Chain A
Amino acid sequence: MLFNGKDSTLAVDLGPDAVRVVSVQTRRGQPHVAAFAEQSLADGNAANLPDRHLDALASVLSANGIKTRRVVAAMPTTSIVTRTVQIDTGKSMSPEEQIQYTLQNCLPDAKDLAFDYWRVSPPRPNEKAFDVLVVATQASLVERYLQGFEKLQLSCAHMDVAPCAIAALIARTTTNPDSPVGTIALSPGTGFFAIIDKGQVLFWRPFDTSAISKSGATTPQLERMGEEISKCVSHMVGAMGGDNLGELLIFGRNSGDAAIGDYLKNRFNLNVRAPSPFDAFASGANSSGAIEQPAATNYCTAVGLALQKLA
């Protein structure tokens, strides 16, 4: 690894239903997929979710002979809290202190807090406040994952959240890079809608997908999901002053369901696509064998994480 000219990264998606890994190697500046695999989680509750994730990760690494030790990972979205916080530039408190103060109202233990944020409102002259999008989780939970990685001889270089990983993926696959893109990620039991602009997440809202069965969605279920997305779009129009989504991309389970695509297309009058995450790589870059839809779409977060480190 030191001298063979290859930069290898293992992207780990700690999903709510499974652990998915994608090993990407960079050779002469060109990323190549060296390996990809997934391992379903054992049954359990939310309290032992990290242990189940790490057990599944150990299993998938040993089963597939993956030797890459440099890891980038995405925390499970069920463990993440996201808020849009308004930062008052007139206050004496720093933005971090203002964010902590705000999060105290929505998290049980303000001391056990790990968060990151970025600005989402466009800069204005003489502004007295601006909006930031905050993602937060329990610091002890992050520590549990990091310690688990160390036990597996893995070195975690970056710990992110799934919407940001997908933002990196969309930045390489969108057909209209100047317009914001709406994206829907579906997984068993949960999903999220995010608005992404120029590789940055502007808004993100999780919603319940437990009503959508594996075989497909019924009209009432689609209506419920559409309402959630509609609220997000309304928030975007109200808070950001625009309704200029270029297209809507769907990833994850049931993303290829024609009923879902047609419903979203008719309701929001947008171009709806369900691309394969592996399309972000150049032709022939998938050296580990072809992976086709619908399995490929489940790797959207892992591929996005890998692309983040290549950006």
Chain B
Amino acid sequence: MAELIPLHYRARLAVRQRVRLWTIGGALVVALCAATLVVAGVWTHAAATEAARLRGDFVQQSSLIQRSEELQRRRQELADRMKKIEGLRDDKTLLALLRNVAGGFADFDSLEYIHINVRGPRPTDAAAVAAAATDSDTSHFVVRMSGITTNTSSLADLMTRIGKARDPALQVKLESSKRENYLDGQVTRFQMTCEKPGTTGS
């Protein structure tokens, strides 16, 4: 067969076909890349939206948790305070000590100052706390008081009466005593300490 197309035209045609093929291929690759980028962008946007939503939920739930924890803490503090008040109200040792000390004073004795230090078991020891509520012997106490009495004989009587007291028993120790003028006569001013028997002092 004859070929009448000039060589330069055939070469140009071949180049054009190659260019067209490469252009189509390039366009396909670009389209594929663009589609991939769009899909990736959409996916990233969806992921970012989901992350933002989750972050919002987390913050919201976190503040709820914090408020809940704060409320729990406050309630716990209130419960502890009420428990302390209940403990104070039900402190039989303190009441017994006041009763024994008050019972020891006669008509001519005067109590000027009293300081009672009662220490129960540690609050963490639930069993000891429960026992302390019903048994005053488990407590350790120190009663310091000062006052005046008629003379040393009446002071001795006072110490004897207090020392005879029971439930709880008191070990009386005279810290100091001295005679001094008071109004139109003389009195004996004293300071004494009462402790639970068997303790060595605080």
Contacts from A to B (Cβ < 8 Å) = 2, 75, 114-116, 118, 135, 137, 139, 142-143, 146, 155-161, 164-165, 167-168, 308
Contact = CB atoms under 8 A, between A and B. Distances in A.
Given A116-B2, A142-B6, 6 more contacts: A2-B24, A114-B4, A142-B5, A146-B5, A146-B9, A157-B13
A280 to B, nearest CB: 16
Contacts of B9: 143, 146
A146 B17 CA distance: 16
Nearest to A142: B4
A304 to B, nearest CB: 9
B24 A158 contact: no
B29 to A, nearest CB: 14
B1 interface: yes
A118 B4 CA distance: 13
A243 B9 CA distance: 41
Contacts of B6: 114, 139, 142-143
A159 B13 contact: no
B3 A158 contact: yes
Interface of B: 1-6, 9, 13, 16-17, 24
Secondary structure type dominating chain B contacts: loop
A161 B5 contact: no
Contacts of A164: 1-2
In the A-B complex, list the 9 residue pairs whose CB atoms are closest, starting with the nearest. A116-B2, A164-B1, A159-B4, A159-B5, A135-B2, A114-B4, A164-B2, A116-B3, A161-B2
Nearest to B10: A157
Residue from A137, A158, A164, A168 whose CB has the most chain B CB atoms within 10 Å: A158
A241 to B, nearest CB: 24
A137 B6 CA distance: 12
Contacts of B16: 155
Residue from B5, B6, B24 whose CB has the most chain A CB atoms within 10 Å: B5
A207 B98 CA distance: 154
A171 B35 CA distance: 51
Residue from B2, B5, B17, B24 whose CB has the most chain A CB atoms within 10 Å: B2
Contacts of A118: 2
A2 B3 CA distance: 26
A137 B4 contact: yes
Contact of B2 (A139, A146, A160): A160
26 contacts: A75-B4, A114-B4, A114-B6, A115-B4, A116-B2, A137-B4, A142-B4, A142-B5, A146-B9, A155-B13, A155-B16, A155-B17, A156-B5, A156-B13, A157-B13, A158-B3, A158-B5, A159-B3, A160-B2, A160-B3, A160-B4, A164-B2, A165-B1, A167-B1, A168-B1, A308-B1
Nearest to B9: A146
A260 B4 CA distance: 33
Contacts of A158: 1, 3, 5
Contacts of A165: 1
A238 to B, nearest CB: 24
A164 B1 CA distance: 5
Nearest to A304: B1
Nearest to B17: A155
A164 to B, nearest CB: 4
B23 to A, nearest CB: 12
A116 B4 contact: yes
A115 B5 CA distance: 9
Nearest to B14: A157
A2 B6 CA distance: 27
A168 B17 CA distance: 26
A115 B7 CA distance: 11
Contacts of A161: 2, 4
A232 B17 CA distance: 43
A70 to B, nearest CB: 10
B13 to A, nearest CB: 6
A213 B31 CA distance: 61
Nearest to B2: A116
Nearest to B13: A155
A34 to B, nearest CB: 21
A157 B10 CA distance: 8
A146 to B, nearest CB: 6
A210 B1 CA distance: 28
A161 B4 CA distance: 8
B27 to A, nearest CB: 12
Contacts of A137: 4
A264 to B, nearest CB: 26
Contacts of B17: 155
Contacts of B4: 75, 114-116, 135, 137, 142, 159-161
